[in-house]
Structure 1
Amino acid sequence: MDFSVLFLSLTTLFSTLLLFFIHKLIIYFSTHPKILFTLRYFNNVKTKPRKFVSVDESICIKCRGAKLLCGKPRCPVLVRYYKNLEVKPLIEKKVLFGSSPPSLFIGRMGYPKVYAGPMLPPIEGDTSYMDTPELWHNISIDDLVAFRMKLVRGKYRIDVSNMKGKIVSYLQEIAMAAKPVDMEVEFEKKPKGVITLYDEVQPHGPSAPIKKIWVENPKVDARIEKAAYDEMKARDAVLWLYRQGAFISSIQKAFSAGLFGIKPKMVPTRWSITAVDDTIGKKLVEEIKNNPWLNEYRIYYTKSMDNLWVIFMYPSSWQYELIEAWYPNTTWNPLGKKIVMFGDHEYYNGRSSYATIGGCYYAARLAVAEKLKREGRQAGVVVMREIHPGYIMPVGVWNVRENVRKALKGEAKKFDDVREAMLFVSSLLHIPIKRWIETSSLLKNVLYQRRLEDFVK
């Protein structure tokens, strides 16, 4: 047999197979949905029409950058914002002196070994407004970003259960401070100039590892100091401070810094925000369950940051629902061509699982329960939130808590008939009321289920 002919035949066969596989790979990389999705966000490559992107349009609503449900190591939605919101370094040197609002941040990646540190701007004086959401009434996203991006985050690796060391001591002093705290931080390298975005936490500026730190002796908030040194249980400390009139944001910082509990430990900032909202909200709900029912239908509403809030209260034992409607091209619905509606609810006995809608659920529930507690009533409550395209980035769950509070401080529109009330709700919302009813569990009950008293003559 002529080996040269055999070799030539094998070479031809191998080349043909190789070309075949290369052709298949080209087709795969040009049409596969996940590859398309990745290329679209990371390389700005022109892709096939959107119909080939198979990522569930509601997946971003469910994930919000926290669970990475799309299977990627980083959230592509947030990556896009990081790229678009790159800013020049706020400092030219590795040493920064300024007045912390006071503010600190405890990370969650790698828990229980996480990065923790103070946040400070290159500004001296009264910077308290920079980290006090309770003061951010009617603020715009542009104004919020303008001062939040000045907060530089120092990072130091800690074990959340190890409450010893200078950095831990400094962070706890900062968390107890009643006024801005002067400090000087030397970084190992210059802070990176990007804005960091989360759903639960308000945005902040660049970060860098801490090399050295100096903190002045702060003037402490006597209430937080008492809660810390009286060795109260964490839940009791949170509730006591709330009753003493401390800001929710101050309680959350102290909780995160590990100031409370018999065996205290630091808590990631994101978790501490929801934990405090949930703890206070649950307690208020327990208390209002002993109150008489509301005897009318009420509607409250407000607008902020291209969000529309409508709160519907009705005569009932305690039940609560939050529904969000995300328009296309908003933070958590960037790919959709349709409005995505999503919600969670609870009845009289509460929930047994974490709300899939996230920390917003507990923030709004706290605000609603506060209102009913003040009035000595209990009721059914449905909070409806429309998020329009002007809401270009997540700003934190404070936005939910403070805007529901704001709406409930306004004058309510009152009705004796549920259908008249729903007609007014319909006039406020941009989305047809039919879609809200289809999405809601509680609205269906109110409108279509006849209660026992309806049969009593």
Structure 2
Amino acid sequence: MSDGKTFFEKAVELNDAPVKNGLCSICKGAHRLCGKDRCPLMIKFYSQQRTMPLIDMKDLAGSSPPSVFVGRYGYPKVDIGPLIPPEFGDTTVMDRPELWMGKSIDEIVDFRFRLVRGKYRIDATDFRKSGRIVDNVQELALTEKPVDVEASFSQKPRGRIVLDDEIQPFGPSARMERMKMGNGRFERNLEKGFYDTDMKAADAVVQAYRNGTLISEIEKAFSVGTLGIGRNRRFVPTRWSITAVDDIIGKDMLKTTKFYDTIDDFRIYQWEQLDNRWLIMLMPCTWRFELIEAWYPNTTWNPMGKTVDIISDCEFFDGRTEYAHIGGCYYASRMAVNELLTKERRTAGAVIMREAHPGYVMPVGVWNVRENVRAALKTVPYHYENLDQALAHVDRVMDIKRDTWIRNSGVMRDWIVQRRIEDYY
């Protein structure tokens, strides 16, 4: 290359986290020494190479999907701003996870990395005197369809590509000095919440969801301080807003679903996407929920492991009092299960088993869990009379067998113990 650096050296520079092991330097993306099907650094790099010539300037204009981002580092002093692609037209798909099912990692990375993040520093708890840029960011988050945005930066967009298991990826960024946007129509349910300064944020979230607003749209409005009681409104980091919205909606549905009659038998739903294998077991009992994730060696959260790393979190009828260790994925999947129970007006216990295989080369956000669980629950389930039959299905479909799942499951172990007690008496 012109600066004397190899493609791989450039890719490492663009990585969102330090390369902590020597394999990358030895492999240089060619020998798959990490065991992954493809080098995630090179996937990111080649996507970035296609974008950089289009944004190699201090002024950028394009049609935002619409999309905004609120950072979390240094909270309450955080960076906010629009995400802008260097193109005009219908860019909706770039920021609508509900449309991403069936797309490959490469496709998702490619259109997400075309989104350039403008950064403008504010106090998230006292933003009202921060200028017109704040107003524009709020308006953009409420807008229903793509809207033209212009931004002027202090320097050309650069920086590392952001990849995270909580948030959708996006591309380079730059400090923003000016922002101008065209006229757009607000999403009607979010507009009602925006102008109702006496409604609590949680109530506004639930009302918008019940009236058909997409979760991805609600998350944006929640993050930019446009919902809630007027004096309490504040900007919320994007990764926090995603989890908060899933939690609020899920808990609201649970107020009703946990008191419905139970389903009549065991159900198994299965699904596979992005080399993630999903199996969802619904049990004929009162509400309880568990997410168990098995990360294979050479996957995002088990990069140097020699064995499968399994983590889990669960709750029973009375719910949780502590934040789930698994993070936002827990609340996203719990919400998705309750959508089905709400539709059927039934309750059940739910155990979600997830195998993340090496083909899942990089994290793409909580949406991946929410939308895959939703998709799985839209398939025709298998029905079984008892847990043993359901677990036999697990053995047939999943690489990890029943004993390992049970050993890592609070919900299934509890079921087995309770059945033994009932059988004894």
> Normalising to structure 2: TM-score of the pair?
0.87
Alignment partner for residue 134 of structure 1, among 84, 87, 98? 98
Q: Give the aligned partner of residue 125 of structure 2.
A: 161
Q: Is the CA contact (8 Å cut-off) linking 1:114 and 1:160 kept in structure 2?
A: yes
Q: Is the CA contact (8 Å cut-off) linking 1:82 and 1:195 kept in structure 2?
A: no
Amino acid in structure 2 at the alignment position of 1:146: D
Q: Give the aligned partner of residue 44 of structure 2.
A: 85
Q: Give the aligned partner of residue 387 of structure 1.
A: 356
Q: Give the aligned partner of residue 332 of structure 2.
A: 363
Count of paired positions:
387
Alignment partner for residue 250 of structure 1, among 217, 227, 230? 217
Q: Give the aligned partner of residue 122 of structure 1.
A: 86
Q: Give the aligned partner of residue 227 of structure 1.
A: 193
Please state how far the C-alpha of 1:144 moved relative to its aligned partner.
Answer: 0.4
Please state how far the C-alpha of 1:162 moved relative to its aligned partner.
Answer: 2.1
Please state how far the C-alpha of 1:163 moved relative to its aligned partner.
Answer: 2.9
SS of the residue 1:338 aligns to: coil
Please state how far the C-alpha of 1:445 moved relative to its aligned partner.
Answer: 2.1
Please state how far the C-alpha of 1:283 moved relative to its aligned partner.
Answer: 1.0
Q: Distance between the aligned counterparts of 1:85 and 1:175, measured in 2?
A: 27
Alignment partner for residue 140 of structure 2, among 174, 190, 201? 174
Amino acid in structure 2 at the alignment position of 1:418: L
Q: Write the mapping of 1:52-451 to structure 2, written as runs, cut at 5 A.
A: 85-86=44-45, 87-88=48-49, 89=52, 90-164=54-128, 165-192=131-158, 194-231=160-197, 232-262=199-229, 263-450=232-419
Q: Distance between the aligned counterparts of 2:222 and 2:63, measured in 1?
A: 21
SS of the residue 1:275 aligns to: helix
Q: Distance between the aligned counterparts of 2:382 and 2:176, measured in 1?
A: 53
Cα–Cα, structure 1 residues 39 and 324, in superposed 2: closer, same or farther, change >3 Å?
closer
SS of the residue 1:211 aligns to: strand
Q: Distance between the aligned counterparts of 1:323 and 1:42, measured in 2?
A: 30
Please state how far the C-alpha of 1:85 moved relative to its aligned partner.
Answer: 3.0
Q: Is the CA contact (8 Å cut-off) linking 2:57 and 2:157 kept in structure 1?
A: no
Cα–Cα, structure 1 residues 224 and 448, in superposed 2: closer, same or farther, change >3 Å?
same
Q: Is the CA contact (8 Å cut-off) linking 2:133 and 2:178 kept in structure 1?
A: no
SS of the residue 2:419 aligns to: coil
Q: Distance between the aligned counterparts of 1:412 and 1:450, measured in 2?
A: 24
Cα–Cα, structure 1 residues 178 and 425, in superposed 2: closer, same or farther, change >3 Å?
same
Cα–Cα, structure 1 residues 176 and 451, in superposed 2: closer, same or farther, change >3 Å?
farther
Q: Give the aligned partner of residue 6 of structure 2.
A: none
Amino acid in structure 2 at the alignment position of 1:276: V
Tell which structure's C-alpha radius of gyration is larger: 1
Q: Distance between the aligned counterparts of 2:422 and 2:210, measured in 1?
A: 37
Q: Give the aligned partner of residue 10 of structure 2.
A: none
Amino acid in structure 2 at the alignment position of 1:283: D
Indicate the larger mover: 268-277 or 134-143. Answer: 134-143
Q: Distance between the aligned counterparts of 1:206 and 1:41, measured in 2?
A: 26
Please state how far the C-alpha of 1:204 moved relative to its aligned partner.
Answer: 0.5
> Normalising to structure 1: TM-score of the pair?
0.81
Please state how far the C-alpha of 1:426 moved relative to its aligned partner.
Answer: 1.4
Q: Write the mapping of 1:4-23 to structure 2, written as runs, cut at 5 A.
A: none
User: Percent identity among equivalent residues?
Assistant: 50
Please state how far the C-alpha of 1:349 moved relative to its aligned partner.
Answer: 0.2
Q: Is the CA contact (8 Å cut-off) linking 2:204 and 2:227 kept in structure 1?
A: yes
1:206-256 CA distances to partner (integer Å, 9 max, x unpaired)?
Answer: 100102111112111111110111121001000000100100000000000
1:304-357 CA distances to partner (integer Å, 9 max, x unpaired)?
Answer: 000000000111110000000000000000010100111000000000000001
Tell me how large the CA RMSD over aligned residues is. Answer: 2.0
**What are structure 1's unaligned runs of at least 5 residues?**
1-36, 47-79
Q: Distance between the aligned counterparts of 2:24 and 2:266, measured in 1?
A: 52
Q: Distance between the aligned counterparts of 1:387 and 1:124, measured in 2?
A: 36
Q: Is the CA contact (8 Å cut-off) linking 2:112 and 2:169 kept in structure 1?
A: yes
